[in-house]
Amino acid sequence: MIVHAAGSGPTVAITANIHGDEATGVAVVQEVDRLLTDRQVRGMALLYPTLNPAGLTARTRVHPSGHDLNRLFPGVRKGSPSERHVHGIWEDLLARNVDLVVDLHADSGRSVPYAIVDRALSNGKGRGLAPRLEQLAAATGLIVLREYPEDQYLRYSLDRSLAGALVNRASVAAVTIEAGPRRWLDPNAVELAAGAVLRVLQHVGMVEGAPPAPVAFAPCGPWRREAAPRTRRTGLFREVVPPGGVFAKGDVLGRVVDLEGEEVDRLVAPRAGVVISWAETAWLAAGSAAGTIGVEDDRA
């Protein structure tokens, strides 16, 4: 862990790489480390380059035990190796009285950077945090996606992700940033995400002179995270709307073609929204989602 301190003020943890194959966040933490020098005016920043060093070494999303650590929070003190590992992270962050956690993830090489707002569950400790979570995510200057609706959010155990558990079990604010490819570094994606983190730190009064936000990718919203349409046929995915592109209900987002280039399926927008990312593998099996989109959040 790297610590930057500048007297009284908020304590913010910037965490990366709980998914061990997501190398982008490690570089983002290092870039934030560099940017904080000369810009920090208050508070304490705790930088964690990796929360899953064994996964980083093995280049796997999961912990060597086979579990996705980001669905196990707050962990178990005397549980399995992965549960103990997660519990150690949890206890460490809470013992440091963090006011905010920025958790860094990566989506795909064919993605715009975006911020995720967790669901503040109606029966959780974080109920009432929603407006603050929205403000923090907006401060990134990136496209903001609200998480899946509450039923899906729970079904996917997202309340047991690091950010989800902090919000819903400890009433600690958290924002997730998804930036860039997983296994290799795109210098532009690293710079964009580091700038987004600095703008969040500026929003809470810790830094001055954060890099300006990029021009808005998608001016409307609010958007809610949704899986892109699933292909009904196996084939090669050819995008029609690029990441960052907005679309209307009924628009063709992409086509699935066979080896001769003949269209075997077309993916049609179920409603208006914005393309966030296309999958890292272009050969899609029947039934798989082609990527991630944001749709207009009618449950606001």
Which phi and psi (to 5°) does residue 31 adopt?
A: -70, -40
In the complex, the smallest distance separating the C-beta of residue 116 from Zn ion, rounded to whole angstroms, is 10
Closest CB to Zn ion among 137 and 253? Answer: 137
**Quick check: 19 binds Zn ion (CB under 5 A)?**
yes
The encoded tokens of residue 244 equal 């960052």
Q: Which stretch binds Zn ion (CB under 5 A): 20-28, 32-40, 71-79, 152-160?
A: 20-28
Choice between 22 and 118, CB closer to Zn ion:
22
Residue corresponding to tokens 């509450």: 150
Query: How many distinct helices (H) and strands (E) make up the chain?
Result: 7, 15
Q: What is the Cα Rg of the chain in Å? A: 19
- Within a 10 A sphere around the Cβ of 186, how many other Cβ atoms? 17
The least distance separating Zn ion from the CB of residue 158, rounded to whole angstroms, comes to 12
Identify which range of 100-108, 124-132, 183-191, 202-210 contacts Zn ion by CB under 5 A. Answer: 100-108
Binding map of Zn ion across residues 195-234, x = CB under 5 A, - = no contact? ----------------------------------------
Looking at residues 104 to 143 of the shown chain, list those that interact with Zn ion (rule: CB under 5 A): 105
Say whether residue 182 binds Zn ion (CB under 5 A): no
Q: What are phi and psi of 44, to 5 degrees?
A: -130, 130
Q: Closer to Zn ion at the Cβ: 177 or 201? A: 177
Cβ 22 to Zn ion, closest distance in Å?
Answer: 5
For 251, residues 6+ apart whose C-beta sits below 8 A from its C-beta are 240, 241, 268, 269
In 3D space, the residue among 171, 183, 247, 210 whose CA is nearest the CA of residue 39 turns out to be 210
> Two tokens at 278?
């296309």
| Residue ranges that bind Zn ion, judged by CB under 5 A | 19, 22, 105
